[in-house]
Amino acid sequence: MTGGTPVAGETLPGAGGGDDDADRVVCHVDMDCFYASCERLRRPDLAGEPVVVGMGYEPGESIGAVATASYEAREFGVESAMPISEALELLPRRADADPDDPDAPDPEETGRYLPVDLDFYEDVASEVKEVLRDCADTRREVSIDEAYLDATDRTSWAVAGGGGGSPSDGGDGDDGDDSTDPPPSGAAGPAEARTLAEGYARHVKDRIEREAGVPASVGVAPNMSAAKVASDADKPDGLVVVPPGSVAEFLAPLPTADVHGVGPVTEGTLAELGIETAGDLAAADRDRLAAELGERGPELSRRAAGDDDREVTPTGLPKSLSRESALPTTADEPTKRETVSALAADVARRARERGCLYRTIGIKAVEPPFDVNTRARSLPGPVDDPDLVEEVALDLLGEFDETRVRKLGVRVSKLDFAETDQATLGGFEPGDGPGDGSDGAADRPRGSVGRTAGTDGDGGKLTDWVDGEPTADGDATGNEAERRTGDGQASLSDWS
């Protein structure tokens, strides 16, 4: 990046006012090569290795497409959505590097190819989402590896140590003030004031690394589009903060391709108009842009100038509500039951606060290292019954009384937000009632568990355990065909 773009951990000095909604603090969290990072989580030997994760790929085969490539693999030219056969020409498989074969590829110029394991990635993603839920009340979860947070009510643009308040979610209470620490090479030093927003973002980033075990890059700015560009400015493992008054200066030298919402087709059209940088786009005649690109043209020009008044909004009503908790694998049965009881109470409370009923109650038990098990039971009708949530969850937990687990979760799903009468459950015993047919509850004795798609059995989809739903439009621009994944990774919506 050029032209004064900030580096990791840097907060740009203010350049004067002018930004709309200048008090707003928006974080864009973008996981770094997420699928590859997940593979390294369970296989530490892959650290530093070129890793290619392929969709539709089987070991030893050459079919399929690249879902993501680690940064080491990208140095060889491997990119997401590239056919595996083409990737193999650029980066041969490590398994083909036979030291006794003079015609075999050099081991130093080979990579590790792995098939996609979506169930595992979704489980790791749920841990990331749990951190994000804890860190911000207003979130837009764009995909399995990307989210926006409106952190305005948690932190501010005040200078750390300047008496301007502190993040409410600062963990140890001093996350906001990094000015006494040695700055990273090339980053802002103590003379360049650090904001509380930077400390807050660092707290979010560190929690993701600590609790989910995977790295993330975070961009912070007063609006969504600038935050997204910032998160991509210093990957991997980056933190770039663009305070109010500095957005236009930050964006100006960047190529138009970096402007949020500009895809390859639009980039080409702009180039034909002699518009090469975000600064050019910001200064361009907007009537001319409208003639060439329609209403999107002026909108992209405004974004390039740092003007974006979109609010961070959730992606819709959730399909489920859940809460998870990690615990030591040595936890005994009473500890497990206490944990599930607490989780059940919290989930039921959240459902009541949101005014929703639920038809299914489930649990999640993760055995070490990452074996995900889910169990669920359907109810005769939608209910709001915290005691029942606890009773059913504990009943389902019985299957894991003698099992070592590293995490437990409780979920309510099949949510009903309509103002309807609650089903009468007089005399209802979980597993004995007339069920809704989805899990055969009526045909099993109390305490038994079935395995039907969507409710029971091992594994589970991201939407089963994460509030809100990933969306295909990604950046909410209405320009899905030109959406870019900031980390060069194919999203689940591209492949599912």
238-260: b or e for each residue (b if 16 or more CB lie within 10 Å)?
A: bbbbbbbbbbbbbbbebbbbbbb
**CA separation for the pair 307, 225 (Å, rounded):** 9
What is the four-CA torsion angle of 241, 242, 244, 245, rounded to 10 degrees?
Answer: 150
**Residue in 10, 39, 146, 198 annotated catalytic:** 146
DSSP state of 443: G
Query: Is 94 within 8 Å of 111 (Cβ atoms)?
Result: yes
The rounded distance, in Å, linking the Cα atoms of 247 and 241 is: 10
User: Any bridge partners for residue 408, and if so which?
Assistant: 325, 365
Catalytic residue flag (residue 249): no
What count of other Cβ atoms lies within 10 Å of the Cβ of residue 269?
16
How are strands ordered across the β-sheet holding 65-69? Answer: 65-69, 51-55, 112-115
How many other β-carbons are positioned within 10 Å of the β-carbon of residue 176? 27
Phi, psi of 146 (to 5 degrees): -155, 140
User: How far is C-alpha 2 from the geometric centre of its chain's CA atoms?
Assistant: 28
The HSE-up count of residue 308 (CA atoms within 13 Å, CB side) is 33
Is the Cβ–Cβ distance between 90 and 78 less than 8 Å? yes
DSSP 8-state assignment for residue 15: -
What the block records as the tokens of 93 is 């498989």
CB 6 within 8 A of CB 250: yes
What is the rounded distance in angstroms from the CA atom of residue 223 to the CA atom of residue 150?
Answer: 9
Backbone angles phi, psi at 401, to 5 degrees: -55, -40
Place of tokens 């802002």: 188
SS3 115: strand
Q: SS3 breakdown of the chain: % helix, strand, coil, rounded to 5?
A: 35, 20, 50
Give the Cα separation of 29 and 26 in Å (integer): 10
Left if phi > 0, otherwise alpha if psi is -120 to 50, otherwise beta: which for 324?
beta
Residue 102, Cβ density class (10 Å: 0-12 exposed, 13-18 middle, ≥19 buried): exposed
Cis peptide before 92 (omega within 30 of 0): no
Secondary structure E strands in 134-233? 138-143, 146-150, 216-221
- Give me the active site residues, please: 146
